[in-house]
């Protein structure tokens, strides 16, 4: 079967990882790259051997493009994904799905009406690390999963991102920027949540760019940069979560799932690989279990989506799961202001696990 035609809109920082992978995965063919900044699109086309570059409208008008990969900033996600759906294209979006739940819901409704699909990052949940954790838990290795503890703390991305303003604007902050990784792991392992509560803080009103051509420039911070949350899942599990860019100490990728028989440490949810570690009551140390499966990186979710479209089955990193994660983040932010528990309405079907042989580099189609 011929590869699926892809148009990429948004040629910034993360487009490098996507273009490197998508141009190597046999199920997809990147036909055009586009950006509001034509120079960026032209440079990425040259760097990754993409045959065409242009404006977002050029990508939407390309008859060879069946799916748009939206790598724009969060504030543009709803508009760019909406335009792709209106043009009859399937959409894979970077996270978060949109800035708010109403526009996320409207986007999924528009896709349903148009008969196209929406998939959403993070596709790290399809990586060897989390998929091995999922298979291990399903095998009963930790007993019944009861609770989770996650930690993400550090000084913040103004230290490394050359244009970090959007990361401190609505739709970002540590909760909306990195929350999707942690919350999607728990969504994959526990299913939907039913209520959340949180405390939020914004200790600094402005920050200074640390690197790149604009180093030294000051910009304002619009969102909480410390968020401590509690989540209760519909199936009964509970989680404690910390998202902070107000810590000189960096500690990222900490996710522990505790069951009736053991605790499982899952590899960094912002990565695709890593060892699992299991500790049972009475153990003096962790037992290390190497993860199994593909760890091909960003764009893996696009391949699963394209294969699912061809096979007529649900894709795994779904718009519905992303909408639930978005609703969770919005409710966490609301709770940080209200001080009350906030209920969640959205639900999604927990995706089937991938088997260890799944590989986006080897096409079965
Ligand atoms: N940088 C990372 O490490 C990283 C990692 C994972 C996910 N992401 C996500 O990827 C997305 C992009 O992040 P980034 O770091 O690449 O940002 P970036 O600012 O480096 O790049 C965004 C690009 O989108 C373009 N753009 C903005 N609005 C547009 C519009 N309406 N139409 C067309 N192009 C538009 C900009 O010109 C820019 O080239 C965000 O959603 C972010 O959360 C980033």
- Report yes or no: 276 and 131 within 8 Å, Cβ to Cβ: no
Please give the structure tokens belonging to residue 276: 């699992």
pLDDT of residue 1: 66
Cα of 363 to ligand 1 centre, how many Å? Answer: 29
What secondary structure letter does DSSP report for 318?
B
The verdict on whether omega for the bond into residue 3 sits within 30 degrees of 0, i.e. cis, is no
Q: Which residues contact 289 (CB under 8 A, 6 or more apart)?
A: 132, 136, 275, 276, 277, 278
The residue whose CB lies within 8 Å of the most ligand 1 atoms, and thus the one to mutate among 55, 72, 76, 125, is 72
Compute the mean pLDDT over every residue in the chain, rounded to the nearest whole number: 97
Burial class of residue 280, CB neighbours in 10 A (0-12, 13-18, 19+): middle
Determine if ligand 1 sits within 6 Å of the CB of residue 165: no
**DSSP codes, 191-245:** --EEEEEEEEE---SEEE--SSTTTT-EEE--S-SEEEEEEEETTS-EEEEEEES
Position of tokens 């940080």? 336
Distance separating alpha carbons of residues 49 and 330, to the nearest angstrom: 39
Distance separating alpha carbons of residues 210 and 154, to the nearest angstrom: 14
pLDDT digit string (tens) for 110-145? 999 999 999 999 999 999 999 999 999 999 999 999
Distance separating alpha carbons of residues 103 and 252, to the nearest angstrom: 30
Cα of 157 to ligand 1 centre, how many Å? Answer: 14
Sheet hosting strand 238-244, strand order edge to edge: 287-289, 276-280, 262-266, 251-259, 145-153, 238-244, 226-233, 193-201, 342-343
The strand pairing partners of 151, in sequence order, are: 242, 254
Please give the structure tokens belonging to residue 235: 């199936």
What secondary structure letter does DSSP report for 39?
H
Q: Which helix (H) or strand (E) holds 69?
A: strand 67-70
* Residue closest to 293 by CA, chosen among 212, 357, 248, 344: 357
Burial class of residue 203, CB neighbours in 10 A (0-12, 13-18, 19+): exposed
Determine if ligand 1 sits within 6 Å of the CB of residue 364: no
pLDDT digit string (tens) for 10-64? 999 999 999 999 999 999 999 999 999 999 999 999 999 999 999 999 999 999 9
Which atom of ligand 1 has the smallest separation from the CA of 10?
24
Cα of 341 to ligand 1 centre, how many Å? Answer: 32
Averaged pLDDT, 178-191: 97
Determine if ligand 1 sits within 6 Å of the CB of residue 35: yes
pLDDT digit string (tens) for 236-295? 999 999 999 999 999 999 999 999 999 999 999 999 999 999 999 999 999 999 999 999
- Report yes or no: 60 and 89 within 8 Å, Cβ to Cβ: yes
Cα of 175 to ligand 1 centre, how many Å? Answer: 17
> What pTM was estimated for this model as a whole?
0.96
pLDDT digit string (tens) for 60-88? 999 999 999 999 999 999 999 999 999 99
Distance separating alpha carbons of residues 46 and 277, to the nearest angstrom: 42
Q: How confident is the model at residue 364 (pLDDT cuts 50, 70, 90)?
A: confident
The residue whose CB lies within 8 Å of the most ligand 1 atoms, and thus the one to mutate among 8, 9, 13, is 13
Q: Which residues contact 102 (CB under 8 A, 6 or more apart)?
A: none
């Amino acid at each position: 079967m011929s590869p699926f035609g892809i148009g990429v809109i948004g040629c910034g920082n993360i487009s490098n990882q996507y273009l490197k992978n998508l141009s190597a995965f046999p199920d997809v063919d990147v036909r055009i790259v586009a950006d509001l900044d034509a120079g960026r699109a032209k440079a990425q086309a040259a760097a990754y051997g993409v045959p065409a570059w242009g404006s977002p409208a050029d990508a939407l008008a390309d008859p060879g493009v069946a799916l748009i990969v939206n790598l724009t900033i969060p504030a543009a996600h709803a508009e760019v994904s909406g335009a792709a759906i209106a043009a009859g294209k399937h959409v894979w979006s970077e996270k978060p799905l949109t800035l708010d739940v109403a526009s996320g819901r409207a986007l999924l409704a528009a896709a349903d009406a148009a008969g196209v699909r929406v998939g959403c990052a993070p596709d790290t949940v399809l990586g060897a690390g989390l998929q091995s954790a999922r298979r291990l838990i399903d095998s009963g290795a930790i007993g019944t999963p009861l609770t989770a503890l996650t930690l993400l703390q550090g000084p913040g991305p103004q230290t490394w991102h050359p244009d970090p303003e959007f990361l401190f604007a609505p739709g970002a902050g540590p909760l909306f920027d990195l929350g999707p990784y942690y919350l999607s792991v728990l969504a994959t392992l526990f299913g939907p949540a039913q209520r959340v509560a949180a405390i939020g803080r914004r200790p600094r009103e402005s920050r200074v760019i640390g690197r790149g051509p604009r180093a030294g420039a000051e910009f304002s911070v619009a969102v909480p940069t410390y968020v401590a949350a509690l989540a209760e899942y519909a199936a009964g599990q509970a989680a404690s979560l910390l998202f902070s860019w107000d810590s000189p100490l960096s500690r990222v990728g900490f996710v522990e799932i505790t069951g009736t028989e053991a605790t499982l440490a899952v590899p960094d949810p912002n990565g695709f690989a890593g060892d699992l570690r299991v500790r049972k009551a009475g153990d003096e140390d962790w037992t290390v279990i190497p993860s199994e499966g593909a760890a091909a990186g960003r764009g893996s979710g696009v391949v699963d989506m394209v294969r699912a479209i061809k096979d007529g089955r649900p894709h795994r990193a779904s718009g519905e799961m992303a909408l639930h994660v978005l609703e969770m983040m919005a409710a966490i932010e609301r709770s940080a202001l209200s001080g009350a528990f906030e209920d969640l309405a959205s639900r999604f079907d927990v995706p089937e696990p991938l088997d260890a042989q799944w590989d986006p580099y080897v096409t079965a189609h």
